[in-house]
Amino acid sequence: MGDEIAQRHFNAEDYTRFRRRLDEETNAVRALFEDGGFSQRGDIAGFELEAWLVDAKGNPAAQNERFLATLDNPLVVPELASFNVELNGSPCAVAGRVFSRLHDELATTWAACRTRAAAMDLRLAAIGILPTIKPELLNSTYMSPRVRFQALNDRVLALRDGAPFELNLSGADALNMTHDDVMLEAAATSFQIHLQCRPDAAVRAYNGAIAASGPMVALAANSPFLFGKSLWAETRIPLFEQAVSVGPRNPPRVGFGDGYADASLFEVFRENQERHAILLPYVQDEPPSKFAHVRFQNGTVWRWNRPLLGFDFDGTPHLRIEHRVVPAGPTIDDCVANTAAFMGLARSFINAERPIEEELPFEAAKANFYAAARDGLDAELIWRHGRRRRARALLLDELLPAAADALRRFGLPAAEVERHVGLATRRVERNQNGATWQREWLAKHGADFNALTLAYLDAQDSGRPVHEWTI
């Protein structure tokens, strides 16, 4: 779904042609799994960071077209709303000083964006939900001028028979409202972590990403406020799920899924083909070996952990896991620490004597995910064999040490592991992620969301990781 499309409106013939191509390519993907046709290259990391443009008062600034035109950086692209952009990273092998390399690239791109934004009297914010976003800014007037966004909005509303979206959330406060389009989704910004897998490790990596989702949300939560209400520690998760709801007659397009993978990740692509309606039947002039229609369909099903088909530099198809549970921010250091924690956890699950799905039922992993989104580091999580632990204790006593050990055993330098997984550990020790900092700041200084946003930006611009921020 990252590529632009050439038409907004579709007819019955478009759906028939797209379905024919989707079925043909899905059969070709099945053959890749059965015949061992995927790249054997693996353990390659990547990322996508979604960010906000804000003005001097901390309000969203709908200027991404002008910003991107003058920045002229292929790694930075538009997002759904005209006040959002996305920063992309280059694939990087999980070897040597991998996290430092990821950090250096992201920091360089971020610095260029900040410089360009400053020239426009704007600032750049990496935060799950901007505290100053308002419902009246989330409409088609502020949609990025891309045909794919307009067509997506049309189709989702069609599946809902034109019914407005309902947003119902409760935390310290309650939020109940309706909205007329998918622009609610633009209020939720993420840091998406990619892991390219060797085929023989793909099921372990995918199921491990599912199991890790709850603890990762607790570690990284950074979205406690929406429209002036104090809600979940990671409100972005229920917001996104409700903002792109396709109605009760259709399976959800955003969700945690229905189970672990069993024999192969082909099960997910088959589910895309069989269970999910075609949202955008954009027929492309590509050979079946490019899997353009399989990839396009997959791009309109936003699982929190999503298998992706891609291609190596030599054109060999590969498998990636996109871990979508982590919010943007608070700093580049924190984003890379989250990447290191996830990569270490994934490696620990791949190496484990028993598969995680034999010790943690899927329903428990799913319950953990929503509990962590609701309560952050204070969430009670279920772990192996039904043990219950607070997220903070589980991360400190078991998961982060296991992640660090797995990375060292994989050959990463001890100093590299300590720098990045250690930073995540100190965040948990201090009991201060982005969500807790925002809540404590507001409790001390009062419910001024513009002042909160400006204080957040000042702390972010200092370069210090969030556990070092003062209130």
Q: Span 324-342, mean pLDDT?
A: 98
Domain locations in the chain as residue ranges: 12-468
Question: Encoding tokens for residue 122?
Answer: 């704007």
* Cis peptide preceding 330, ω within 30 of 0: yes
pLDDT tens digits, one per residue of 334-362: 999 999 999 999 999 999 999 999 999 99
pLDDT tens digits, one per residue of 33-51: 999 999 999 999 999 999 9
pLDDT of 178 above 70: yes
What residue type is assigned to position 176 of the chain? Answer: N
Pairing of strands 191-197, 317-323: antiparallel
pLDDT of residue 1: 42
Instruction: Write b or e for each residue in 52-79: b if 16 or more Cβ atoms lie within 10 A of its Cβ, otherwise e.
Output: bbbbeebbbbbbbeebbeebeeebbbbb
Burial class (CB in 10 A: 0-12, 13-18, 19+), 112: middle
Q: pTM score > 0.85 for this model?
A: yes
* Averaged pLDDT of the chain: 96
Question: Encoding tokens for residue 187?
Answer: 């209020």
CB neighbours of 291 closer than 8 A, spacing ≥ 6?
25, 28, 29, 309, 317
Architecture category of domain 12-468 in CATH: 2-Layer Sandwich (3.30)
pLDDT tens digits, one per residue of 382-409: 999 899 999 999 999 999 999 999 999 9
pLDDT of 130 above 70: yes
pLDDT tens digits, one per residue of 265-296: 999 999 999 999 999 999 999 999 999 999 99
pLDDT of residue 135: 96
Q: Span 183-196, mean pLDDT?
A: 97
pLDDT tens digits, one per residue of 419-469: 999 999 999 999 999 999 999 999 999 999 999 999 999 999 999 999 999
Other Cβ atoms within 10 Å of 161 Cβ, number? 8
CB neighbours of 454 closer than 8 A, spacing ≥ 6?
57, 58
pLDDT tens digits, one per residue of 290-314: 999 999 999 999 999 999 999 999 9
Confidence of residue 2 (pLDDT cuts 50, 70, 90): low
SS3 sequence, the chain? Answer: CCCCCCCCCCCHHHHHHHHHHHHHHHHHHHHHHHHCCCCCCCCEEEEEEEEEEECCCCCECCCHHHHHHHHCCCCEEECCECCEEEEECCCEECCCCHHHHHHHHHHHHHHHHHHHHHHCCCEEECCCCCCCCCHHHCCHHHECCCHHHHHHHHHHHHHCCCCCEEEEEECCCEEEEEECCHHHHHHCCEEEEEEEECHHHHHHHHHHHHHHHHHHHHHHCCECEECCEECCCECHHHHHHHHCCCCCCCCCCEECCCCCCCCCCHHHHHHHHHHCCCCCCCCCCCCHHHCHHHHHHHCCCEECEEEEEEECCCCCEEEEEEECCCECCCCHHHHHHHHHHHHHHHHHHHHCCCCHHHCCCHHHHHHHHHHHHHHHHHCEEECHHHCEEEHHHHHHHHHHHHHHHHHHHCCCCHHHHHHHHHHHHHHHHHCCCHHHHHHHHHHHHCCCHHHHHHHHHHHHHHCCCHHHCCC
